[in-house]
């Protein structure tokens, strides 16, 4: 047995051994001589034959679909890292991304938001704002004041925010920029009910969205220099990053573009 197959075999055995039958709704029978699940249990719960699962655990060369692997991951209660590891061992590729709704803001990410000295927010693929730091609330808006269903960056910028009401050219440029990025995000989830609901709501409530949504412009990188509509003309440069292990989250950071803006942000932070 080569090294990869041995790793796969030992990994599946150890994961199976740590799951108690009661964890998956099975009785803890006294006849069990070893801890954890039996191969028959995993096979039944994953919807495969005992022979097929035995061959997988033995590292034999068999065809394994992504769907079956997902069921095994669920049965063995694998973490995201373990799921990635199993897909790499069996299919020699990264695991398919999880549903964007399952994206989680980790405690480490929340701590990072609180420590950095610039405004930052975390958004989902649908642009729902799921985390932010105090500087983002002081600089832009108090996200706590928005009910959860309105805490979406597109709804805020295109419907709720009237900061640019007297600056139509600046407003149009902002809308064009954000929609050029959102088109790429939307293209990955066309037909998703939550995305379609958002599109319908924006078409109903935003004249700018109705006018500009069908433009063919797309931009893959979320970077721009923007002048803050209030706070004395602060100019910010924003860019975004994908947290490791969370492909459907983006951390959007806003850095002061010049010394004057940096001083004003520092004054806000000190306050």
Q: Are residues 113 and 131 in the same domain?
A: yes
Q: Are residues 89 and 123 in the same domain?
A: no
Q: Are residues 86 and 113 in the same domain?
A: no
φ/ψ of residue 20, rounded to 5: -75, 145
Higher pLDDT, 170 or 194: 194
Q: Are residues 81 and 122 in the same domain?
A: no
CA dihedral 215, 181, 223, 149 (to 10 degrees): 120
Q: Are residues 136 and 226 in the same domain?
A: yes
Higher pLDDT, 244 or 226: 244
Confidence bin at 218 (pLDDT 50/70/90)? confident
Q: Are residues 16 and 75 in the same domain?
A: yes
Boundary-marking domain end, from 96, 114, 134? 96
Angle at 98 between CA 95 and CA 101, to 5 degrees: 170
**Residue 12 pLDDT > 90, yes or no?**
yes
Tokens of 162: 């009237």
Q: Are residues 182 and 234 in the same domain?
A: yes
Q: Are residues 228 and 135 in the same domain?
A: yes
> What pLDDT does residue 55 have?
93
Q: Are residues 114 and 225 in the same domain?
A: yes
Give the domain CATH number at 15. 1.10.260.40
Confidence bin at 2 (pLDDT 50/70/90)? confident
Range of the domain at 84: 3-96
Q: Are residues 266 and 182 in the same domain?
A: yes
DSSP labels, 28-63: --TT--SSS--HHHHHHHHTS-HHHHHHHHTT----
Boundary-marking domain end, from 60, 79, 96? 96
Q: Are residues 52 and 185 in the same domain?
A: no
Give the domain CATH number at 146. 3.30.450.180
Boundary-marking domain end, from 69, 96, 123? 96
Q: Could you tell me the pTM of the whole model?
A: 0.71
Q: Which has the closest alpha carbon to 129: 149, 110, 108?
A: 149
Q: Are residues 179 and 213 in the same domain?
A: yes
Number of domain units in the chain? 2
256, containing H or E segment: strand 249-256
């Amino acid at each position: 047995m080569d090294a990869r197959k041995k790793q796969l075999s030992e990994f599946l055995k150890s994961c199976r051994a740590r799951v108690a039958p009661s964890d998956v709704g099975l009785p803890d029978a006294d006849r069990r001589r070893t801890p954890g699940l039996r191969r028959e249990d995993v096979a039944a719960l994953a919807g495969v034959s005992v022979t097929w699962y035995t061959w997988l655990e033995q590292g034999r060369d068999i065809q394994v679909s992504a769907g079956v692997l997902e069921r095994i991951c669920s049965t063995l209660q694998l973490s995201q890292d373990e799921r990635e590891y199993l897909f790499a061992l069996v299919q020699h590729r990264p695991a398919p991304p999880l549903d964007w709704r399952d994206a989680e803001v980790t405690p480490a990410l929340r701590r990072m938001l609180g420590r950095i000295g610039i405004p930052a927010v975390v958004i989902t693929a649908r642009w729902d704002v799921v985390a932010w730091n105090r500087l983002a609330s002081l600089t832009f808006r108090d996200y706590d004041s928005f009910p959860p269903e309105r805490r979406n960056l597109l709804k805020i910028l295109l419907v709720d925010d009237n900061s640019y009401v007297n600056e139509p050219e600046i407003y149009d440029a902002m809308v064009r920029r954000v929609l050029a990025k959102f088109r790429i995000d939307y293209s990955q989830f066309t037909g998703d009910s939550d995305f379609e609901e958002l599109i319908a709501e924006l078409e109903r409530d935003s004249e700018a969205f109705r006018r500009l949504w069908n433009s063919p412009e797309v931009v893959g990188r979320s970077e721009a220099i923007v002048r803050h509509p209030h706070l004395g003309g602060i100019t910010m440069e924003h860019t975004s990053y994908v947290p490791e292990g969370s492909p459907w989250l983006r951390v959007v950071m806003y850095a002061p573009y010049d010394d004057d803006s940096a001083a004003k942000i520092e004054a806000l932070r000190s306050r």
